[in-house]
Structure 1
Amino acid sequence: MVDIDLWQLGEGFPAENTQRLPMANPPPPTNHSSYVRQQETAKVDRFFKLGNPRGNENPFLLTFGIVWFRWHNHVAKYLRSVHRGWSGERVFNEARKWVIATYQAVVFYDWLPRYMHTSLPKYQAYRPTVDPQVSHIFQSAAMRFGHTLVTSGVYLRTRNEQGCISLPYELTAPEGSSQRRVVGVRTCNSFWRSPELFTRDPAHFERLLMGLSSQSTEQEDNVIVDDLRGRVFGPLEFSRRDLMAINIQRGRDHGLPDYNTARRHFGLATLDSLDTEEYKRKTGTHVEDQVLSSLRSLYDNDPSKVDIWPGGLLETRNGPGQLFSKVILDQFERIRDADRFWFENNNNELVQSLTLFSSFTLLFFKVYI
């Protein structure tokens, strides 16, 4: 592990976790033998201090955490310059409002329509009778369709004026093994090692953003990369987990309804069998016949036995299919409409100028995206 004081990275990065906040800290995928000898995993103070306890899980998630950290500080500096009488606490919380508003706008009105290929109904007003609670079927099944978008890695790229070229990046190899130098940051080798990327070279932050913005995700389908199939977390010298198997088991542990029952609840046509042609006709899926035949064989041609995760996943047609689309759009609309502090609610006395907010959001895209 690279031993560099994170404070040397400067104000553009969050503080290191010297207070040892209880952040998620599974074993990194290297040097497991040393952890066995010392009877403990890597120190939790190697992480950046972030509000999300799993914010250091992988470099891609950490990079976006740093983006929002920098955006907060950018807004705070602006507010401090125009409100010199405000206390530090006031500046922090006022900036926090704008960061939350920006996040809401980006997720609901930029990301969601592209992900779902449709938009939510136009916002009308705060609706106090709407239940905003996150449903089990959303968090334990439908929203996990995003696992199909995860890539095996992301390239580090230079700026356009530097040729926009890919740069090699080599993580510390496991003890007793030789690791080839590779171009890009491999997902399965980077779990819980994210700070290393930036402690080695703070410029990697911008290079990874360049890579993320210039590289396509995996196709929105039923295919999952090996990095999530049997290579999730855990050391390289040890067995790892299959995240898709976990998704199935999670649904069972949480008592989610079977696939057919869920379709009925959301007003969709139920299946009488797992016949390939019936499944394709009623769901509109683009999945290959061979895969659907395997589904029929695995679940004895009985749609009431199908777990909701594989059943919903196989409805895919260049994005979430019928069932998962219903679940996701319903959840996002309820979260928005039941939020008294939603940024478009002009009656909450928190966001008083949408014109100012719009200019801030444009600046966010210009500076950070």
Structure 2
Amino acid sequence: MKRCEVIARLNQPKSTGCPVKELPIDICGKSVQVNCDAVANFRTIDGSCNNLKNPEWGKAGSMQSRSVTNAYDDGRSTPRVRSTCTGKDLPSARVVSNAIHAAGVSMELEPHFSYMIMQMGQFLSHDFILTKTFTMDDESPLDCCGNETLCSECFPIQVPAGDSMNISCLAMSRSKAAIDCKRIRQQLNGHSSYLDMSLSYGMNEEAAKDLRTFSGGLLNTTNANLPADEGDSTCHLEGEFDPILNYCPESGDPRVNENVGLASMHTIFHRAHNNFANGLAKINPDWDDEMLYQNARKILIGVWQNIVYGEYLPLIIGQPAMKYHKIDVTNNGFKDTYNEKTDATTINEGGIAFRFGHSTVSRLIVLQDEDYSLSMPPEPLEDHYFLTKLYHIFNGRGHEDVLRWTVDSACPKMDRMLEPSVQQKLFQDKSDKASDIAALNIQRGRDHGLPGYNAYRRQCGLTPARDFSTARGGLVDMDSDVAALLQKVYSCPDDIDLFTAIVTERRSNGAIVGPLGQCIIADMFKRFRDGDRFFFERNDPLIGFTEAQLNAIKKISMSSLICITTRTSTMQDNAFLFNTSKKPCSEFPVLDFGLWKQT
């Protein structure tokens, strides 16, 4: 099998401002033999051998794919920087962000969706994509607004004079990439593409082993919480290290502590694995550690995929789109759609399109106790990036209070506007240095050579826009006020960046995104489903569930999972819907482990 990826380190002259460069090179003349066990009952950790004929499809560390031809400036590698209609420079990503994406004074809210919509979206995206960026040799960031400005792997964002951030440049290094067999730069995915909980279990065997106890199939914990990252590499630890109440929590993804809500999601799935392992051990006392670990992992992935396709995704793209693309799940029984010719590798544009969720990030973070009463006053989100104070507060249960807030509070409205916590104060440090997630999303798309709006409209069978009107032949899926704003910053509709396009289109009926978002997201999740040999609904005696086991898994909702893994006493039926009546957690289904009793 040919493998068109490798990263080779080569010295670069110091005069360029980039002391060391990781240069992608082409090794298409060589092959790497991958030996797969065709009768293995369980997934590999890194996603390899999911497809037996193409073992590296979707594997961690492989190249992301594309559904549309790249629009690199040189056709191969350099970022998209020029207008397709005028040849002039594209507007600064920060200029676009300020004109289109800056939120108003008040935070507009969704009438029906809970904040779990945002938190689930972030957690989910971290399962299928991890795009790392180029760094110095010691893994410190490139100083792309300073000493390394001229480095070819820097792609900083110019900030206009008079900007409220009071700076002239936002640093950004390019995504790590390889050169494919056609000599095109392709970005690398650190995680497997499959929805396999790699963000909890790790992206390779070494990472997975570090998280295991190797006893009873269990994952490591600290006082029933996530274990400690001994290197303190996943958070900014404040105060003296405490092995119980002040440490950086560790999971299978380095972004675990980006915000405490994300860490809380990692925690409940971590706990769920151990809950399942303990349940299996009671019913099968003869099973060894490996058997318990793999079966608990298999069940958790099944529960996860059911939540994604059964609860979350229908709210994002709409139930009609789920059925049209044949990616909906059945209430009971099997639905086997596996196709060995489907490549489940994450599509580049899907990773950018899925960033629509940044529009739903709150400007606050709130904690609620078991009665859903405030356990402390709301605090600005920007005060808690990569900090763990709220995770460990209240004797190590603060993260549960954050989780209750996510299901009991309305989500910020999914629209073109992003809250100041991410559009002005992203990752703000003690010196008030910060960034802008909207500008980064736009610049990242250009870095990846993603074309503009109309290229994807055509790919999706949607009418391309010839002008900025909202009449036929124009921006028919956008409101007139939005179209007017876009016309002020872009030369033509062709130039509209993908992220901006996704969050500015009007919603489709029953969906939270517009037609283009529906198309790209549905396409990606169809690949994830149909290209996954281990997808939980498959009717395959070797690797699947029995029908009774599958039906039991389909009863475990996100609300059920929260009830099982936290001290929460009441929950609404659907954790993603806001302001609905709650019922006792005792009324939610739990898994019948007797269905897994080995005879």
Q: Which amino acid aligns with 1:297?
A: K
Q: Secondary structure at the match of 2:425?
A: strand
- Deviation of residue 202 (structure 1)? 2.1
- Deviation of residue 224 (structure 1)? 0.7
Among 265, 283, 286, the alignment partner of 1:82 is: 283
Matches within 5 A, 1:246-257: 246-257=440-451
Inter-partner Cα distance in structure 2 for 1:87 and 1:199: 36
Q: Decide whether the 8 Å contact of 1:80 with 1:86 is kept in 2.
A: yes
Q: Which amino acid aligns with 1:270?
A: P
Inter-partner Cα distance in structure 2 for 1:218 and 1:280: 29
Among 282, 295, 299, the alignment partner of 1:98 is: 299
Under a length normalisation based on structure 1, what TM-score does the superposition of the two structures give? 0.80
Inter-partner Cα distance in structure 2 for 1:367 and 1:145: 25
Structure 1 residue 259 and structure 2 residue 259: aligned? no
Q: Which amino acid aligns with 2:266?
A: G
Q: Which amino acid aligns with 2:348?
A: H
Matches within 5 A, 1:1-369: 10-18=222-230, 20=231, 23-25=233-235, 46-118=247-319, 119-120=322-323, 121=326, 122=328, 123-139=335-351, 141-160=352-371, 164-168=372-376, 183-194=377-388, 196-278=390-472, 282-283=476-477, 285=478, 287=479, 289-300=480-491, 302-317=492-507, 319-347=512-540, 349-360=542-553, 362-363=555-556, 365-366=559-560, 368-369=562-563
Q: Please name the residue that 1:39 is paired with.
A: none
CA 1:195–1:95 in 2, change beyond 3 Å: closer, same or farther?
A: farther
CA 1:360–1:124 in 2, change beyond 3 Å: closer, same or farther?
A: closer
Q: Which amino acid aligns with 2:268?
A: V
Q: Please name the residue that 2:15 is paired with.
A: none
- Give the stretch that moved more between structures: 258-267 or 199-208: 199-208
Unaligned 5+ segments in structure 2 are 1-220, 240-245, 329-334, 564-599
More helix by share: 1
- Deviation of residue 279 (structure 1)? 7.7
Q: Decide whether the 8 Å contact of 1:47 with 1:195 is kept in 2.
A: no
Q: Secondary structure at the match of 2:420?
A: coil
- Deviation of residue 367 (structure 1)? 5.1
CA 1:11–1:279 in 2, change beyond 3 Å: closer, same or farther?
A: farther
- Deviation of residue 117 (structure 1)? 1.9
- Deviation of residue 251 (structure 1)? 0.7
1:205-229 deviation per Cα after TM superposition (whole angstroms, max 9, x unaligned)? 3322221110111112111111111
Inter-partner Cα distance in structure 2 for 1:237 and 1:94: 48
Unaligned 5+ segments in structure 1 are 1-8, 32-44, 169-182
Inter-partner Cα distance in structure 2 for 1:156 and 1:357: 35
Q: Please name the residue that 2:5 is paired with.
A: none
Q: Which amino acid aligns with 2:521?
A: I
- Deviation of residue 253 (structure 1)? 0.4
Q: Secondary structure at the match of 1:184?
A: strand
Q: Decide whether the 8 Å contact of 1:276 with 1:292 is kept in 2.
A: yes
- Deviation of residue 185 (structure 1)? 4.5
Inter-partner Cα distance in structure 1 for 2:506 and 2:473: 12
Indicate the percent of aligned positions where both proteins have the same amino acid.
Answer: 24
Inter-partner Cα distance in structure 2 for 1:56 and 1:11: 18
Give the RMSD, CA atoms, in angstroms: 2.4
- Deviation of residue 88 (structure 1)? 1.5
CA 1:219–1:235 in 2, change beyond 3 Å: closer, same or farther?
A: same
Inter-partner Cα distance in structure 2 for 1:49 and 1:312: 33
Under a length normalisation based on structure 2, what TM-score does the superposition of the two structures give? 0.51
- Deviation of residue 321 (structure 1)? 1.0
CA 1:185–1:279 in 2, change beyond 3 Å: closer, same or farther?
A: farther
- Give the stretch that moved more between structures: 148-157 or 74-83: 148-157
* Large movers: runs of 4+ above 6 Å: none
1:113-169 deviation per Cα after TM superposition (whole angstroms, max 9, x unaligned)? 012222241544310011211111111x21011111111223211223xxx32121x
- Deviation of residue 323 (structure 1)? 0.9
- Deviation of residue 186 (structure 1)? 3.0
Q: Which amino acid aligns with 1:208?
A: V
- Deviation of residue 347 (structure 1)? 1.2
Q: Please name the residue that 2:574 is paired with.
A: none
Inter-partner Cα distance in structure 1 for 2:476 and 2:532: 35
